Amino acid sequence: PRSTSATAISNKLNELLQDPKVFISPEILKLYTSIQCQLKKADYIPTIFALYANKPSPRSSGGTIKYSPSSPKSPQNAIPPTIANDALEVAMEQRNLSLALAIIDTAFCTPAFYRSKIIRQASLPFLGVVATPPAAWAIASYLSTLQNTMDVSTARGIAFSAILAYVTFTASVGLVAAATSNDHMRRVVWIPGTALRTRWLREEERQALDRVAQTWGFSDPLMRGEEVGEEWESLREFIGMRGMILDKTDHMEGME
């Protein structure tokens, strides 16, 4: 039967990747997750996600195999968001809440993922911050030569201060607006007072929990907040422990 073959293939993959002598490369992780998602066998994916960051690397030395400890917090050991989302989609299709939460934990809640996100998304803005003062000074120096009402050095200083103040104010307003926007939030929002840095760093975790809440809850917006049951209460408690709120009253339909 097809289900028996799928189970056999899935089990063999799990055994292979859990073998101490097998190194889990990014390509292998991507291929493993893709196959398991197609087979709808995602039960061991959180285990493999954890192994990806923590599994010692095998190295052949003098005919013997030696194992080098891994660096779980290294950005290279972060689970790519696309892979994690594919696995989460399967868990939600199977209505397996514990599996979905385990995937979120092992993919989006690790130091490696946070560091990887900082490198991927914060490097360019950081370079912009570093480059702003020299660029402002160059522009101010040019502008100071276009006037004859004051000393060049004084004009340069005024222009430099004005440009820097404008850029800093505009960037700060934009940063606060981007970090505090909640139009994309459906059922899971941050607890008031959550730091902007935390909001940005853990946004993938919140988005994933929001997707889970929408999957387990009623699809009709007018029925939201009426869900009951052990799984739903467990999800609400889990979200609360993560510094978020499930179905905040003033975000619900008709309660704005």
Task: Quote the pLDDT of residue 204.
Answer: 95
Close Cβ partners of 202 (under 8 Å, ≥ 6 residues apart): 108, 109, 114
- As a whole number of angstroms, the distance between CA 54 and CA 204 comes to 22
Task: Quote the pLDDT of residue 253.
Answer: 59
10-residue averages of pLDDT along the chain (256 residues) = 80 92 92 94 94 88 82 92 95 94 96 93 83 90 87 90 91 78 82 90 95 89 82 93 85 57
Spatial contact of 80 and 53, defined as CB atoms under 8 Å apart: no
Spatial contact of 159 and 143, defined as CB atoms under 8 Å apart: yes
Task: Quote the pLDDT of residue 211.
Answer: 94
Task: Quote the pLDDT of residue 104.
Answer: 96
- As a whole number of angstroms, the distance between CA 246 and CA 102 comes to 18
Nearest Cα residue to 29 out of 57, 16, 48: 48
Task: Quote the pLDDT of residue 118.
Answer: 92
Compute the C-alpha angle 235/240/246, nearest 5°. Answer: 65
Task: Quote the pLDDT of residue 254.
Answer: 54
Q: Which two tokens stand for residue 211?
A: 């997707």
Task: Quote the pLDDT of residue 13.
Answer: 93
> What predicted TM-score, i.e. pTM, was given to this entire model?
0.82
Task: Quote the pLDDT of residue 212.
Answer: 95
Task: Quote the pLDDT of residue 255.
Answer: 54
Q: DSSP code of 27?
A: H
Determine the distance from the C-alpha atom of residue 210 to the mean position of all C-alpha atoms in its chain, rounded to a whole number.
13
